């Protein structure tokens, strides 16, 4: 049976409109009936994604950058590994961004991610990204002190507005050059995060996933929500949309993400490069040569 359709626009804040996260659900209608149905639907999506990725690669013009941002335990890792599980690893790279190193801090805040951007024909995935610079850094502005910024920038009133602008313009630049940027905010409720943290403590094989830092950041929940709201409001554009994905149900979130990625790729109107008549003749000639070669 066909999977229920989703409309990506339902998850997309309108550029220029203020985002109020309280009005965006953390759970939504389930796209699957049970675990078995979920697996079946995901396999179908993954197959389709794999075909589309091959065409993206063959046509060699566009690249796709998928950015994942979320609170801890929202399911970024699972969404990335499950949705991309069938894509040829040669056409896809995943990068996780942790607090920047000394070398990274010695450059502007877009530097370290720029060198990891996907080349034409490829899909790049950022597990966290330059958006951390207006999220965790905005929640903990003391981090700015260690960034070596010019004093007038640091003291000036326009620091955050300047960062949003840098990001928006950078993404427009990427768009003009063939990189399609799609951003996912996995929207988790505070209660569901509590439940998942407890699970990480209770289940031995999940212990490694839990750290004291997660607890520390949870205490800043409201500040994070405010930082996300500002960030989504300022950086959602037509060319590089944000999607606010209800994430209280992990499996559903993965299906929503896979559908959005599929629809984004389909929207590029990709096709395998056209084989000219001359090229067909050439291929036939090579085929004849091969057929006559001794084994």
User: Which of 3, 86, 91, 97 touches ligand ATP by CB under 6 A?
Assistant: 97
Neighbouring C-beta atoms of residue 264, cutoff 10 Å: 18
Q: Could you identify the residue written with the tokens 């990204």?
A: 129
Q: Which does 56 bind (CB under 5 to 8 A by kind): Mg ion, ligand ATP, none?
A: none
CB 139, CB 223: distance < 8 Å? yes
User: Which of 45, 72, 132, 249 touches Mg ion by CB under 5 A?
Assistant: 72
Q: With 0-12 CB in 10 A as exposed, 13-18 as middle and 19+ as buried, what is 288? A: exposed
Q: With 0-12 CB in 10 A as exposed, 13-18 as middle and 19+ as buried, what is 137? A: buried
Q: With 0-12 CB in 10 A as exposed, 13-18 as middle and 19+ as buried, what is 82? A: buried
* Interaxial angle between packed helices 35-59 and 76-83, expressed in degrees from 0 to 180 and rounded to the nearest 10: 70
CA distance 207 to 50: 33
Nearest distance from C-beta of residue 166 to ligand ATP, angstroms:
13
User: Of all residues in this chain, which one has the CB nearest to ligand ATP in the complex?
Assistant: 132
User: Which of 21, 46, 143, 149 touches ligand ATP by CB under 6 A?
Assistant: 143
Nearest distance from C-beta of residue 214 to Mg ion, angstroms:
6
Looking at beta carbons only, is 77 or 223 nearer to ligand ATP?
77
Nearest distance from C-beta of residue 276 to ligand ATP, angstroms:
47
What is the footprint of ligand ATP within residues 68-87 (CB under 6 A)?
72, 77
Looking at beta carbons only, is 35 or 205 nearer to Mg ion?
205
Annotate 3-38 with b (16+ C-beta within 10 A) or e (fewer).
beebebeebebebeeebebeebebebeebbeeeeeb
Q: With 0-12 CB in 10 A as exposed, 13-18 as middle and 19+ as buried, what is 94? A: middle
User: How many residues at the interface with ligand ATP, by CB under 6 A?
Assistant: 14
SS3 95: strand
Q: Could you identify the residue written with the tokens 């057929």?
A: 291
Q: Which does 97 bind (CB under 5 to 8 A by kind): ligand ATP, Mg ion, none?
A: ligand ATP
Looking at beta carbons only, is 52 or 137 nearer to ligand ATP?
137
* Interaxial angle between packed helices 250-267 and 35-59, expressed in degrees from 0 to 180 and rounded to the nearest 10: 30
User: Which of 13, 100, 241, 246 touches ligand ATP by CB under 6 A?
Assistant: 100
132 binds Mg ion (CB under 5 A): no
137 binds ligand ATP (CB under 6 A): yes
First vs last C-alpha separation in the chain: 47
Looking at beta carbons only, is 18 or 107 nearer to ligand ATP?
107
Looking at beta carbons only, is 79 or 123 nearer to Mg ion?
79
Q: Which does 94 bind (CB under 5 to 8 A by kind): Mg ion, ligand ATP, none?
A: none
132 binds ligand ATP (CB under 6 A): yes
Looking at beta carbons only, is 70 or 181 nearer to Mg ion?
70
Residues near ligand ATP, by CB under 6 A: 72, 77, 96-100, 127-128, 132-133, 136-137, 143
Residues near Mg ion, by CB under 5 A: 72
């Amino acid at each position: 049976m066909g999977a229920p359709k989703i409309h990506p626009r339902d998850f997309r804040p309108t550029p220029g409109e203020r985002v109020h996260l309280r009005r965006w659900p953390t759970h939504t209608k389930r796209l699957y009936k049970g675990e078995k149905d979920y697996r079946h639907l995901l396999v179908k999506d993954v197959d389709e994604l794999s075909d589309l990725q091959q065409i993206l690669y063959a046509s060699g013009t566009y690249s796709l950058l998928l950015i994942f941002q979320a609170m801890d335990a929202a399911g970024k890792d699972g969404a990335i590994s499950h949705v991309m599980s069938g894509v040829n690893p040669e056409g896809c790279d995943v990068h996780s961004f942790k607090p920047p190193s000394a070398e990274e801090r010695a450059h502007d805040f877009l530097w370290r991610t720029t060198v990891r951007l996907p080349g034409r024909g490829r899909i790049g995935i950022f597990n966290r990204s330059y958006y951390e610079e207006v999220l965790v850094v905005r929640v903990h502005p003391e981090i700015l002190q260690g960034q070596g910024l010019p004093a007038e920038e640091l003291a000036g009133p326009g620091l955050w507005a300047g960062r949003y602008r840098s990001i928006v313009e950078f993404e427009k630049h990427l768009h003009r050059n063939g990189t399609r940027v799609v951003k996912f905010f996995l929207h988790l409720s505070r209660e569901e995060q509590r439940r998942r943290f407890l699970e990480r403590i209770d289940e031995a094989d999940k212990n490694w996933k839990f750290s004291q830092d997660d607890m520390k950041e949870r205490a800043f929940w409201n500040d994070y929500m405010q930082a996300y709201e500002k960030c989504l409001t300022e950086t959602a554009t037509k060319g590089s949309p944000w999607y606010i994905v209800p994430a209280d149900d992990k499996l559903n979130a993965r299906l929503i993400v896979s559908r959005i990625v599929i629809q984004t790729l389909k929207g590029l109107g990709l096709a395998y490069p056209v084989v000219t008549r001359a090229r067909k003749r050439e291929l036939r000639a090579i085929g004849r040569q091969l057929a006559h070669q001794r084994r």
